[in-house]
Chain A
Amino acid sequence: MKRRLVGFGVVLLVCVFGMSGFAFAQKPYEGVTVTVITWDTATARAIEKMLPEFEEKTGMKIDWNVFSEPVLREKVMADLAARTGVYDIFLLDSWQTARYARAGYVIPLDELLATKRSEYFCEDFAPVYLDALKYDGKLWGLPYYGVVGILMYRKDLFEERGISVPETVDQLTEAAAKLTDKSKQMYGIAMRAIKGEDNPIISTSWTWVFGGEWLDENMKPGVTSPEFIAGVKWFEDLLRNYGPPDVSRYSWLEVQNIFVTGHAGIIFDASDFVGRIEDPELSQIVGKIGYALAPAGPCCPITERYPSHLFTAGMAINADSKNVDGAWLFLQWMTSKEVQQRSVGMGNTGITSVSVLQSEEFRSAYPTAVPVILRAMELANPEYMPHIPEYPELCEIIGTQISRVVAGEATPEEAMKVAYDEMYKVLEQAGYYK
């Protein structure tokens, strides 16, 4: 009898412990898999390392996919065309936001923000990055990676030749002239001028500060205005006279390479260059780099118009996702302040949270660059590129025509006339002129 009681007691104990263990093992998202596809950046690497913690805490499995930009676009497009909903979260950059939002491929986050905000949510995304992901009054993604335009220059050469940091575009031209010595393959300045959609983010930053606009108030192309053409002319002359001879094929890669091998005195490009050009594994000029705000154009001071080169990569939730709640939670986590803070130490320079940008850790990683980046973010204005669904077509047209000018294939007037006609066709077919 006693043995039976003991046996019963043991069984009871086991059951109790077992059930409580079972209760503890039930995590909120057990059994849910969220599939993410994003660009392969330093941020992505950092996040990938931290995934196990998130999975441990929530029980969610994250299917993490990274690809380069054009490749990612192709894969996401096939998924959207078939509406498979395979990727719960995918990369939505500021260029694509309007398009995808209007097409209904992504869900607006406003309601989720209002009702299901979790502890992870980053309260202080930089407004300039957050706005880039808004369209039609709603928010479509959370900023995961953001950059602004800054000037990066060889401060050792500036000191040597007594050049001061340029504050107007004319001073920039002078500085570039003083640094150029073509016989030694030393070029004053290098910027992107490659054909296609890659250069307008740079080149139209400059036409902006000359007073030019992509579109006028009636949504007609503004590229033939005298201000815009003046900007294109300045861009062409600067690169033709003081840039590398084949600059019309320069993408970010060539701009970076010519700078880190010591053959360019000044470059104007994205703030996330900082992480790479200060990396001794890549750069031969570590410690010789100065950072400054880009100069003002003739039309206005930089407080009114700044060469912004603004770009935001956001992460959005697929409208066909079957795990919206889980995806939303992960989305908040991967853009959270904590994750961003920890990624600073892993080489991420595309931070989107203001407090992380101002943090001690980020400042001490790039002491001379960070104040410049912060100020540039305050000055940057996303207005210089229209936030409409037809943006990619317009961008490609402008980029190709400006590249032709730099290559010497056409005068600014001729090229902008072609751009005007093509942009007009696109906007007309899209129904803006009814």
Chain B
Amino acid sequence: MILQRKSFLVLALPALAVLVIVSIYPFVACVNNSFRFYDLTRPSEGKPWVGLTNYGLLLGDVRFWHSIKVTLYFVAFGVGAQLLLGFAMASLLNSLERVSKVILPVFLVPMVIIPVVVGLNWRLMYDQTLGIINYLLNALGFPSQPWLGSGFHAMLSVILTDTWEWSPLVFLILYSGMKALPTEPYEAAKIDGATGFQILTNVTLPLLKPVILIAILIRTIDAFKWFDTIYIMTSGGPGMATETASMYSYLIAFNFFNIGKGSAFSVLMLALVNVFCVFYARIIPREGGLG
């Protein structure tokens, strides 16, 4: 540890101050609202304290649990796929030095497009009759698929679109991570005659652990909250196959105008995300550099 306490404060205080000031009030307000009856269709009744009523209503709601289940599938499979694909992209570009300058911005494009447009575009592409994906499948001799028409397919399609959109984020984090690695270990490994695969598993991956962790954390946190493209592509359907927690809580807060229940929902989601993140942070020990 090389930093003095004073220097630590100088370096870290501005950021901490901003975070505290800006985020404390809304968070406290949200928790406060979750313990109250706060229904915008009945403003005359005010915001009386109701204790755990909102939480009780939600925890007893089958639809709530279903939305949590859908969210877990979405996060688990989505983040998993993005991790694999992002790592593949990063490794690939790392090996193909000459084209990396051109390919890098290209790889970033999917996540750069405004999500609303991404959602609409994929919705049209997934149309069973008029969509381009089935058209191409048919041209290659495969039958049309009900991409958004059956529960199972819809879940798949939503995850596929999400992977398409956000693998570039994982890619960018991992790629820059690879670029920041020192060269010594690699030279040493080559001298030792290690194969490419051995280098990958024994040198690259361990060194990249801190960066991999942050990629997983960020994607998990964002995937839990994710709303835009799913809403546009399926509205949570067919049936309730793709109704995630964020969509159901949106319904409660913005269609049914029940802010109290929506706040309670969000607090529960926050708790769930926290559990996940603690879990990841424990499993992936942060031995990064050689220090």
Contact between chain A and chain B defined by CB under 8 Å? yes
Give the distance in Å from the alpha carbon of A389 to the alpha carbon of B40 in the complex.
12
Give the distance in Å from the alpha carbon of A70 to the alpha carbon of B243 in the complex.
17
A254 to chain B, nearest CB (A): 7
With an 8 A cutoff between CB atoms, is A396 at the interface?
yes
Question: Which residue from A73, A77, A103, A246 sits with its C-beta under 8 Å from B149?
Answer: A246
Nearest residue (CB) in B for A395 is: B255
Asked if B129 and A103 make an inter-chain contact with CB atoms under 8 angstroms apart, the answer reads: no
Interface string of A40-82 (1 = CB under 8 A from B): 0000000000000000000000000000001001100100110
With an 8 A cutoff between CB atoms, is A154 at the interface?
no
Give the distance in Å from the alpha carbon of A87 to the alpha carbon of B291 in the complex.
59
With an 8 A cutoff between CB atoms, is B27 at the interface?
no
CB neighbors of B among A353-409 (8 A): 389, 392-393, 396, 400, 403-404, 407, 409
Question: Which residue from A81, A187, A246, A396 sits with its C-beta under 8 Å from B148?
Answer: A246
Q: Which residues of B contact A198 (CB under 8 A)?
A: 235
Give the distance in Å from the alpha carbon of A410 to the alpha carbon of B151 in the complex.
12
B273 to chain A, nearest CB (A): 23
Q: Which residues of A contact B42 (CB under 8 A)?
A: 102-103
Asked if B254 and A404 make an inter-chain contact with CB atoms under 8 angstroms apart, the answer reads: no
Asked if A73 and B254 make an inter-chain contact with CB atoms under 8 angstroms apart, the answer reads: yes
Asked if A77 and B40 make an inter-chain contact with CB atoms under 8 angstroms apart, the answer reads: yes
With an 8 A cutoff between CB atoms, is A257 at the interface?
yes
With an 8 A cutoff between CB atoms, is B130 at the interface?
yes
Q: Which residues of A contact B44 (CB under 8 A)?
A: 103-104
Give the interface size bracket for A toward B: 35 or more
Question: Which residue from A77, A248, A251, A400 sits with its C-beta under 8 Å from B257?
Answer: A77
Binds B, one of A10-18, A189-197, A296-304, A323-331: A189-197
Q: Which residues of B contact A81 (CB under 8 A)?
A: 40, 259
With an 8 A cutoff between CB atoms, is A249 at the interface?
yes
With an 8 A cutoff between CB atoms, is A258 at the interface?
yes
With an 8 A cutoff between CB atoms, is A7 at the interface?
no
B151 to chain A, nearest CB (A): 7
A223 to chain B, nearest CB (A): 17
Asked if B146 and A389 make an inter-chain contact with CB atoms under 8 angstroms apart, the answer reads: no
With an 8 A cutoff between CB atoms, is A155 at the interface?
no
Asked if B129 and A258 make an inter-chain contact with CB atoms under 8 angstroms apart, the answer reads: yes
With an 8 A cutoff between CB atoms, is A244 at the interface?
yes
Q: Which residues of A contact B129 (CB under 8 A)?
A: 185, 187, 244-246, 258, 263
With an 8 A cutoff between CB atoms, is B234 at the interface?
yes
Asked if B40 and A80 make an inter-chain contact with CB atoms under 8 angstroms apart, the answer reads: yes
Asked if A246 and B146 make an inter-chain contact with CB atoms under 8 angstroms apart, the answer reads: yes
Question: Which residue from A99, A196, A244 sits with its C-beta under 8 Å from B128?
Answer: A244
Given A74-B254, A244-B128, A246-B127, A103 and B40 touching (CB < 8 A)? yes
Q: Which residues of A contact B237 (CB under 8 A)?
A: 194-196, 248-249, 400, 403, 407
Nearest residue (CB) in B for A74 is: B254
With an 8 A cutoff between CB atoms, is B65 at the interface?
no
Q: Which residues of A contact B154 (CB under 8 A)?
A: 249
Asked if B255 and A246 make an inter-chain contact with CB atoms under 8 angstroms apart, the answer reads: no
Give the distance in Å from the alpha carbon of A73 to the alpha carbon of B251 in the complex.
12
B50 to chain A, nearest CB (A): 12
With an 8 A cutoff between CB atoms, is A261 at the interface?
yes
Give the distance in Å from the alpha carbon of A187 to the alpha carbon of B127 in the complex.
14
Give the distance in Å from the alpha carbon of A251 to the alpha carbon of B130 in the complex.
14
Asked if B130 and A195 make an inter-chain contact with CB atoms under 8 angstroms apart, the answer reads: no
Give the distance in Å from the alpha carbon of A246 to the alpha carbon of B148 in the complex.
7
Give the distance in Å from the alpha carbon of A75 to the alpha carbon of B237 in the complex.
25
Asked if B238 and A257 make an inter-chain contact with CB atoms under 8 angstroms apart, the answer reads: no
CB neighbors of A among B17-43 (8 A): 40-43
CB neighbors of B among A148-201 (8 A): 185, 187, 194-198
With an 8 A cutoff between CB atoms, is B51 at the interface?
no
Interface string of B232-248 (1 = CB under 8 A from A): 00111111100100000
Give the distance in Å from the alpha carbon of A311 to the alpha carbon of B238 in the complex.
24
With an 8 A cutoff between CB atoms, is B77 at the interface?
no
Question: Which residue from B40, B146, B234 sits with its C-beta under 8 Å from A245?
Answer: B146
Q: Which residues of A contact B41 (CB under 8 A)?
A: 99, 102-103, 389
Asked if A403 and B238 make an inter-chain contact with CB atoms under 8 angstroms apart, the answer reads: yes
Give the distance in Å from the alpha carbon of A257 to the alpha carbon of B126 in the complex.
14
With an 8 A cutoff between CB atoms, is B276 at the interface?
no
Most buried by B among A74, A195, A389: A195
B257 to chain A, nearest CB (A): 7
Asked if B238 and A407 make an inter-chain contact with CB atoms under 8 angstroms apart, the answer reads: yes
With an 8 A cutoff between CB atoms, is B256 at the interface?
yes
Give the distance in Å from the alpha carbon of A410 to the alpha carbon of B238 in the complex.
12
Give the distance in Å from the alpha carbon of A247 to the alpha carbon of B154 in the complex.
13
A189 to chain B, nearest CB (A): 14
Q: List 17 A-B contacts (CB under 8 A).
A: A77-B257, A103-B40, A103-B42, A103-B44, A245-B149, A246-B146, A248-B149, A249-B149, A249-B154, A251-B235, A258-B129, A263-B129, A389-B41, A396-B251, A400-B240, A403-B238, A404-B238
Would you list the 3 A-B pairs with minimal beta carbon distance, nearest first? A246-B149, A195-B237, A246-B128
Q: A-contacting residues of B (Cβ < 8 Å)?
A: 40-44, 127-130, 144, 146-151, 154, 234-240, 243, 251, 254-257, 259
Q: B-contacting residues of A (Cβ < 8 Å)?
A: 70, 73-74, 77, 80-81, 99, 102-105, 185, 187, 194-198, 244-249, 251, 254, 257-258, 261, 263, 389, 392-393, 396, 400, 403-404, 407, 409-410
Given contacts A185-B129, A195-B238, A263-B129, could you give 9 more A-B pairs where the C-beta distance is less than 8 Å? A73-B255, A80-B40, A195-B237, A196-B237, A258-B129, A258-B130, A396-B255, A404-B240, A407-B149
